[in-house]
Structure 1
Amino acid sequence: MKRLIINSDDYGRTPEVSRGIRAAHLLGVVTSTTCMMNIPTTAADIKIGLWETPQLGLGVHLVLTADKPIGPYESVKSITDENGNFLKLAALIQRINDIDVNEVKAEWRRQIEAFIQAANKKPTHLDSHHHSSYFSPSLFRAMLELAQEYDCAIRLPVVNDSDDMAGLPPELIGPIREYAPKLFAEFNPRRPKAFFASFYDDLATHDELQRIISEVGDGTYEIMTHPGYVDDELLKASSYARQRETELKILTDPSIKEAIRSNEIELVTFASL
């Protein structure tokens, strides 16, 4: 049986991003999303989603590289800058061996608990903004321990029919290939068989999405997407802004739904794992 999770990252990034994700579910093929719980408006967006899109799977997008943490500055000093903001991606990678994983795990737990308070249920799965939860063995272990604690699935960033890791910083892929399989074997988390990260930016095209759909075989696969509507807040905060409306247009195109049907693929969420 061919099954496919089409997950939208960044629910809550702005209210307009959240509205676009809901549209991609209601009018298109998105089945799942992950919520950025350190954004103050995300809890309200979740309430809207529970009413407007009750079949949309909801997970937690663990954050280390955007906006501010939920916890007080004293509890997150190793992962924040002098203004109390999370480190930017490049800075986090540069300081990856100096961060306090206990601070990270406590902050991620706060984000998961904030989701449970807003949604009144556990998340379907965990993944991470910029894939930061895979950047070191200790970070990956922290995510796996939290997934085990909250009994939810995780994203598996492994390319179909290979041991390549998708969407990760090139300078980190070598070490990740060494420790990731060992940690997967130790924890054996629920996760999809493979992961497609290529539908992004210049490759967020009809042809690329059709190509990915044609590669889905038996088992459960995940496609990462980033649909949304653009507003001034997003334009100021993110370099990936107008591209989201391009993704939304493709993900709601009837030809994509037809391609999924003709390939006999069932659309599911992480809850089916």
Structure 2
Amino acid sequence: MKQLIVNADDLGLSEAVNRGIREAHERGILTSASLMVEGPAAEEGVELAGVLSVGLHAVLDRRGEFLVSPEDAPEELERQLARFEGLAGRRPTHLDSHHHVHRDPRLLPAFEGFAARHELPLRDRDVRHCGLFYGRWDDRSHPERVGVESLLEILGGIEEGVTELGCHPGYAEGLDSSYTVEREREVRTLTDARVRGRVEELGIELIGWDGVGAILGEDRPPAPRVRLPAGGRRWKGSRTMITRAEQQEAQAYAARELEAAGIVLTDEERSSIEVADFGLSRLREVGLQLLVYVNTDRCCAKELVLYPGQTCPEHRHPPFEGTPGKEETFRCRRGLVTLYVEGGEGIELRPGEQHTIPPGTLHWFQAGSEGAVVSEFSTASRDDLDEFTDPDVLRSTVVR
């Protein structure tokens, strides 16, 4: 069975945002929301807890900077939880974060520990998250991505099991944000009769976060964990493969992102996009989409596409056949990607910025909240020889 949570972030941000969220629920397919407890309209927004499943939308950053250190994050999460319970008189139904900062490996342990202590479902961990319904990146508006046709296409890619679709409906008046006209279009799209009809046609059951525990089983044993670099951790499910639908959706996403970055593809190139989940079966969190143009004994050129927050795990390119290993240059074409290189801090690359990684250097990278497109130029590439620090990683992907 396909079950879909349609969750609105930013409840409490303003009265106009609250109104849009309410409308998207009463007239559309919205089933859930996440509350910013320090938002100017938080007290009004929490009233929706009577009709929606409402979770905690933890805010730990502002304008790209952490508000607290990773060490102080658990205390700040406890403070925001107490504020939520004081406003709502009840526990939140789930936990997520503003700008998806819970995906940052420096903060993820704090979020996972907090969620475990309070038995809260955490975005990306207990339920797969779909972040494709979003209308702005590279400081430019893309309202077509939150239009009806786009949402119909996204719904067509929903697979069996439980999925959370993220959204940001609302109205713009009085809102100090770069995301305004897109919010209003989201309201119109979520309430469009064609969307409701598509949900019914596909046999998708709309649920809230408050129903996730019963579906997954409250007494289920914790899934095993998988180690990522820099103290980061990710949730690993029991599957060791991805579905054909996941592969095709990732290929289609990568093709759209490449074309949006101004990169023209042939039909053959679209069909040859590789989808790598590194054997972890959590593609949206740990994975990569690749298109190889050329790979000879002298040079290699690729395009790398990442979903929002997606991570390529830590690895190095070792010496082979008399060479010192692959030297590669990453050049960001779209979105934001952060490189973490052995012995250094994170290096943020935005469109037009690049960084070269010497052979044999441990490194990993993660896309920002809007995903990323990265061009890679390198010496000869032998992906099959890559050495990963996580022993659970497999370079090959199994598709069923």
Give me the TM-score of the superposition, normalised by structure 2. 0.49
Q: Which has the higher helix share?
A: 1
Residue 100 of structure 1 and its aligned partner are, at CA, apart by 2.5
Please give the per-residue CA displacement for 1:203-230, whole angstroms capped at 9, x wherever unaligned: 1121211111111121001111000011
Partner of 1:103: 72
For 1:153, what is the secondary structure of its paired residue? coil
- Distance in 2, matches of 1:21 and 1:271, equals 17
* Aligned counterpart in structure 1 of residue 187 of structure 2, from 248, 251, 254: 248
Q: CA deviation at 1:104?
A: 1.9
Structure 1 residue ranges without an equivalent (≥5): 66-86, 157-188
Q: Does 1:212 align with 2:208?
A: no
Residue identity (%): 32
Deviates more, 1:254-263 or 1:208-217: 208-217
Q: Secondary structure at the match of 1:148?
A: helix
Code of the aligned partner of 1:155: R
Aligned equivalent of 1:59: 55
Tell me if the contact between 1:43 and 1:115 (Cα under 8 Å) persists in the aligned partners: no
* Distance of 2:211 and 2:93 partners within structure 1: 9
Q: Which residue of 1 aligns with 2:197?
A: 258
SS of the residue aligned with 1:154?
coil
Give the distance between the partners of 1:144 and 1:40, measured in 2 at CA: 28
**What do the CA deviations read for 1:107-127 (whole angstroms, capped 9, x no partner)?**
121111111111111111111
Shift, 1:55, TM fit: 3.1
CA contact (8 A) 1:197 1:224 kept: yes
Select the structure that is richer in strand.
2
What is the rounded CA distance, in whole Å, between the counterparts of 1:223 and 1:205 in structure 2? 15
- Partner residue, 1:171: none
Instruction: Tell me the equivalent position of 1:184.
Output: none
The structure, 1 or 2, with the larger RCO (C-alpha pairs under 8 Å, 6+ apart) is: 1
- Checking the alignment, whether the CA contact within 8 Å between 1:122 and 1:150 is kept in structure 2 is no
Matched residue count: 204
Native 8 Å contact 2:35 2:45 kept in 1: no
Deviations 1:53-97 (A, max 9, x none): x331100111022xxxxxxxxxxxxxxxxxxxxx421x44xx9xx
What is the match of residue 10 of structure 2? 10
Larger radius of gyration: 2
Following TM superposition, by how much is the alpha carbon of 1:40 offset from its aligned partner in structure 2, in angstroms?
A: 4.0
**Aligned partners of 2:170 and 2:187 also within 8 Å:** yes
1:84-233 matches, within 5 Å, as 87-89=62-64, 91-92=65-66, 100-137=69-106, 139-156=107-124, 191-192=126-127, 194-201=128-135, 202=142, 203-232=145-174
Does the Cα contact within 8 Å between 1:195 and 1:224 map onto a contact in 2?
yes
Return structure 1 stretches of 4+ with deviation > 6 angstroms.
none
* Aligned-residue RMSD, C-alpha: 1.6
In the TM superposition, residue 103 of structure 1 has moved relative to its aligned partner by: 2.0
**Aligned residues of 2:11 and 2:33 also touching (Cα < 8 A):** yes
